[in-house]
Amino acid sequence: MAVPLFNLAPDITVSRLCLGTMTFGEQNSLPQSFELLDKAFDSGINFFDSAEMYPVPQRSQTQGRSEEYLGRWIRSRNIPRDRVVLATKVSGPSGQMTWIRNGPESLDSRNIAEAIDNSLRRLQSDYIDLYQVHWPDRYVPMFGETEYDQSRIYSSVSFEEQLAALDRAIGAGKIRYIGLSNETPYGLMKFLHVAEGDFGNARTISVQNCYNLLCRNFDSGMAECCHHESVSLLAYSPLAMGILTGKYLSVGRGPDDARLNLFKGRYAEGESRYNLSNGIIRKATELYVSIAEKHGVHPVSLAIAFVLRHPLVASAVFGATKLWQLEEVLNGCKVHLSPEIVAEIDEVHSAFPNPCP
């Protein structure tokens, strides 16, 4: 069974599975990355996601390698550029990654223009199909935070300046479409409203936000915006950083080379957001895994099939460090969740709503 397709834009058709590359250059060597890319492409995946800050955990010595490996693979395999859909991201302000434009400091026009040119160079491409703002240039609760604290507001770059820079890049042929990531309903609607004025070519077509069995926050507010504005969801972390596979539920808490073990103490966001020491997260995970076991479905297939059944999801953005992990995700496309399974999933969700926001 081939990976199904989705029309993300009138002239862009993407596979409903998107291979994320944030392990390339850290957990995966160049040959290992090529092996994963080969298998994904041969299996019908044409959609690949990266970011200028990747791989993670981020550090100056490896920054940009994920894009570089992806570009080298396309070039070495002589793949026609129109056979693949490349998505990447510009980092929002953080102050922590000083090796990326001093922080990065902001998403002003200079930073956006420089980031695009650097990504094009690493990808060895004349254009990027989908260019995404990795996180907003303003205070918003992100990466596990849920409550808005207005005292944390800081001076930010206007939506107008960001869109002007993106619109110029579209006019120059450097990017085709723009998307947002880790965004809120307010941010999406502001980007859409401002684009209607002077930046019509820079209309947002997608939002890459977290969505999985343990995190369905998208359905509270953002889904309504995306539905009425014809914006697709690119669902990242469909396996909740691997905990929905069930591998961390074992007595030994999973393989030593599993990400949450390998980078223990170095990956604050992941460790806090997907912490099975939290009894609620652990219980919800156990229940979802038990549903899969009860119905003879692999936990990975259950998680992937759940995400892909959402009517607003264009593609599930997943990561894999080994070929067998990639195979498990591919198998998720073959699974149809019966009404009985969906009802059992919703029952767990009602008891333990969104423990991993």
- Among the residue ranges 59-68, 116-125, 248-257, 288-297, the one predicted with the least confidence is 248-257
Stretch 329-335: mean pLDDT: 96
- Evaluate if residue 291 carries a pLDDT over 70: yes
Q: What is the pLDDT of residues 123-156, one digit of tens each?
A: 999 999 999 999 999 999 998 888 999 999 999 9
Please give the tally of structural domains in the chain: 1
Domain at 164, CATH number = 3.20.20.100
Mean pLDDT of 82-104: 96
Check whether 252 has a pLDDT greater than 70.
no
Catalytic residue among 54, 131, 236, 248: 54
pLDDT higher than threshold 80 for residue 297:
yes
- Residue 62, Cβ neighbours under 10 Å: how many? 17
Q: How confident is the model at residue 344 (pLDDT cuts 50, 70, 90)?
A: very high
Confidence of residue 171 (pLDDT cuts 50, 70, 90): very high
How does the average pLDDT of the chain come out, rounded?
Answer: 96
pLDDT of residue 327: 97
pLDDT of residue 266: 82
pLDDT of 269 above 80: no
Do the domain assignments include residue 137?
Answer: yes
Average pLDDT over residues 296-308: 98
Average pLDDT over residues 272-277: 89
Q: pLDDT value at position 263?
A: 87
Q: What confidence score (pLDDT) does residue 1 get?
A: 57
Q: Is residue 357 part of a domain?
A: no
Domain extent, residue 300, equals 5-351
| pLDDT value at residue 253 | 81
- pLDDT tens for 133-142 read 999 999 999 9
Is the residue at 155 inside a domain? yes
**185 domain residue, yes or no:** yes
For the question of residue 54 being annotated catalytic, the response is yes
pLDDT tier at 197 (50, 70, 90 boundaries)?
A: confident
Q: Is the pTM of this model over 0.85?
A: yes
Residue 118 lies in a domain: yes
In a domain, 99, yes or no: yes
Q: Check whether 301 has a pLDDT greater than 60.
A: yes
Q: Judge whether 356 lies within some domain.
A: no
pLDDT at 322 over 60: yes
- The answer to whether position 258 is within a domain reads yes
Q: What percent of the chain has pLDDT over 90?
A: 90
Above 90 in pLDDT, residue 251? Answer: no
> What would the mean pLDDT of 251-263 be, rounded to a whole number?
83
Whether the pLDDT of residue 26 is over 80: the answer is yes
> What mean pLDDT is predicted for residues 229-258?
92
